[in-house]
Amino acid sequence: MIKFIKRKIKDIKLENALLIEGLPGIGHVGRLAAEHLVHEFNGEKFLELYCYDFPPQVLVKDDGTIEYMKADFYAIKEPKHMIVVLGNTQALTPVGQYHLAEEIVKLGIEHGANFVYTFGGFGIGKLVKEAKVYGATTSKELAEKLKEHGVIFRNDGGGIVGAAGLMLLFADLNNIPGICLMGETPGYLIDPNAAKAVLEKFSKLENIEINMEELEKRAKSMEQFIERIKKFEEETLKALQKPPSDEDLRYIG
C-alpha cells in the first residue's frame, strides 16, 4: 500500500460537482487549464493531500519558507460546482500512480463529485497555430457528445499514462463518467495555447463561460518569446554559412 496524509483546511459542501485534475504533465497543459479555472472562479482550497510516493523532498522558497510536494483541492461554486486538484508532482512509481488516482477520485466523490475531467497535453513535437483537442471517455454516449463538439479521437492506438488516464479508470470503477481532454502541444514548452483550447471545449461541453484573457496574455508573451528565439536562430545560421572574412579568420584558432 502507499500511505497518504490528508490535511483538512476547511469544510465544504458541494453536489453533482465536476472533479478536475490538474497535475503536471506534457506541456503542463492540464495544470495550466485547471489553475485557470481556480483563478477565474475563485476556488477555495479545502484539502491538502500528501503521498509517500511523491518525491522525497521539500522545495525552498526565496523567503526561506518551504513548499511541500502535495496536491491541493479547491472548491468552486459558480458557475458550477467543481473540485479542482492542483499538484506540483505526480506519483513516482506505477503502483503509486494507481493509488494516487484512486485516492483523488475517492476524495472527489466524498466531497460531492459525480463526474471526472482530466486535462492533458498531446505532444506533437511542433508548434501549431490552432491546437486541436483530442478526447477519450468512459462511454460511447459521451464519445458521441465529444464528437459533436469538435473534439477528435486519436487513432495511434496509444495510451494516456498517469493520473490523467487512471482517474478515468477509477471514475468507471465508481460508476461515474469520465472525460479526458488533450490539447495538441509541442511537448517541450509550457503551453497556454493548448490549455486555452482544452478549456474552450470544456466550456462548450459544460455550457459555461470562461474568460480566457489571462491565458491569452500568457499565450501572446510566449509567441513573442518564440519569435525572438526563431530570429536569433536564423541570424546565427546565416552568420555560420557566410564565408569567413580575413578579419574573422584572425580570431579563429
Angle between helices 192-206 and 213-241 in degrees, nearest 10: 150
Identified binder of a copy of itself from the candidate list 154, 217, 230, 231, rule CB under 8 A: 154
Given a contact cutoff of 8 angstroms between Cβ atoms, the answer to whether 35 and 12 are in contact is no
Closer CB to a copy of itself, 135 or 215, in the complex? 135
The contact pattern for a copy of itself, residues 66-85, with x = CB under 8 A and - = no contact, is x-x-----------------
Q: Hey, what's the cell of 132?
A: 486541436
Q: Is 3 in the site for a copy of itself (CB under 8 A)?
A: yes
Which one of the spans 8-16, 17-25, 74-82, 131-139 is the region binding a copy of itself (CB under 8 A)?
A: 131-139
The C-alpha cell 475563485 sits at: 42
79 prior amide bond cis, ω within 30: yes
Picking from 168, 206, 209, the residue whose alpha carbon sits closest to that of residue 16 is 206
CA distance 221 to 39: 19
Identified binder of a copy of itself from the candidate list 24, 79, 165, 187, rule CB under 8 A: 165
Picking from 73, 75, 93, 80, the residue whose alpha carbon sits closest to that of residue 23 is 73
Helix (H) or strand (E) holding 85: strand 82-87
Q: Is 98 in the site for a copy of itself (CB under 8 A)?
A: yes
CA distance 48 to 36: 19
**What is the SS3 assignment for 61?**
coil
Q: Is 125 in the site for a copy of itself (CB under 8 A)?
A: no
Identified binder of a copy of itself from the candidate list 147, 217, 228, 231, rule CB under 8 A: 147
Residue 37 CB contacts under 8 Å (≥ 6 apart), including other chains: 20, 43, 76, 82, 84, 199, 210
Q: Is 220 in the site for a copy of itself (CB under 8 A)?
A: no
Q: Is 65 in the site for a copy of itself (CB under 8 A)?
A: yes
Q: Cα separations (Å) of 224 from 80, 118, 142?
A: 35, 29, 38
Q: Is 155 in the site for a copy of itself (CB under 8 A)?
A: yes
Identified binder of a copy of itself from the candidate list 50, 124, 177, 203, rule CB under 8 A: 50
State the number of binding residues for a copy of itself (CB under 8 A).
56
Closer CB to a copy of itself, 95 or 229, in the complex? 95
Q: Is 207 in the site for a copy of itself (CB under 8 A)?
A: no
Query: Minimum CB separation from a copy of itself for residue 182, in Å?
Result: 9
- Which residues of the shown chain bind a copy of itself in the complex (CB under 8 A)? 1-3, 5, 7, 50, 52-60, 62-66, 68, 92-99, 101, 135-140, 143, 146-147, 151, 153-155, 157-162, 165-166, 168-169, 172-173, 180
